[in-house]
Amino acid sequence: MVSMLILDMDSAERVKICEAISDFTIRKGKESVSYLICDSKNEFEEILRAQEYLELSAVDIVNNDIQCAVTLRSKYESAKILLIADASISPMKYLRPDILASSLLLRPIKERDMDRVIRDFVGAYYEEMDADTEAYFNMETRNGVLNIPYDRILYFEANSKKLYIRLADEEYNCYMTLDELTQMAPAFFERCHRSFVFNTKKVRKYVASENVLIMENGIEIPISRTYQTKIRRMMRR
């Protein structure tokens, strides 16, 4: 299930946004959306602390500090952001690289404008997912399917019949073997141990004398004897 956070003080507007998105997903036969609703900065911050991953968001920057959008982008690099603004705010304040909004709703919002913006915003997300399914690791959760961009994954670890997916700040697990994983993972993932497959783009340092890889978050991954020669050659390219 797709997760969407909505920070909007206007309850009627929130309802219209949810209805427009739900109507779109039903018409297109797409995966349904789970909404995380908040009408205050405190609630917004609580959700950010608890929510590990987010696909979509709508942020009212008229009644909230624009820093909320910056904070959201900082935590969820791949999330699509819909900003809600009005003519009182200069576009220079929100057309920023540290926000990278995908769409904009300008108040006063007419129904036809709402439908058009939501169609383009949500439609772009699903089109990207459909066209680039190989860019995501898909796993089943209690709330539906979680799509994790491979570019965010540091490494996979097999332990106690489970596969652990390690990101910079989060960790997930599912039932899958490393052999199954290696058949589907992109070419920039390599095996270095019977229990580890790592993202070659996320290696900070290779310590040959200790046979370890130090990843971007500082975690060390062991290199077993079987893979030492291969990893050494790879890291010297």
Residue 53 token pair: 């991953």
Residue 131, pLDDT score: 67
- The residue written with tokens 């997903």 in the block is 25
Strand partners, 86: 107
Alpha-carbon Rg for the chain in angstroms = 21
Q: How far apart are CA 83 and CA 128, in angstroms?
A: 20
CA angle, corner 96, sides to 119 and 51, nearest 5?
65
Q: How far apart are CA 175 and CA 64, in angstroms?
A: 41
Residue 216, pLDDT score: 87
Answer whether 56's CB lies under 8 Å from 129's CB. Answer: no
Whether the pTM exceeds 0.85: the reply is: no
150-235 CATH, one of 3.90.650.10, 2.40.50.1020, 1.10.3720.10, 2.70.98.10:
2.40.50.1020
The SS3 call for residue 112 is helix
| Fold equal for 2-131 and 150-235 | no
Domains of the chain, by residue range, sit at 2-131, 150-235
Residue 59, pLDDT score: 96
Q: Block means of pLDDT (10 residues each) for the chain, length 237 residues?
A: 90 94 88 88 91 89 89 90 94 93 94 94 85 76 78 93 90 92 91 96 93 92 94 84
Q: Amino acid identity, residue 108?
A: P
Residue 215, pLDDT score: 94
Distance of CA 13 to the CA centre of its chain: 25
Residue 142, pLDDT score: 73
**For the chain, how many residues are written?**
237
Answer whether 124's CB lies under 8 Å from 78's CB. Answer: no
Residue 143, pLDDT score: 65
Domain 2-131 = CATH 3.40.50.2300? yes
Answer whether 202's CB lies under 8 Å from 186's CB. Answer: no
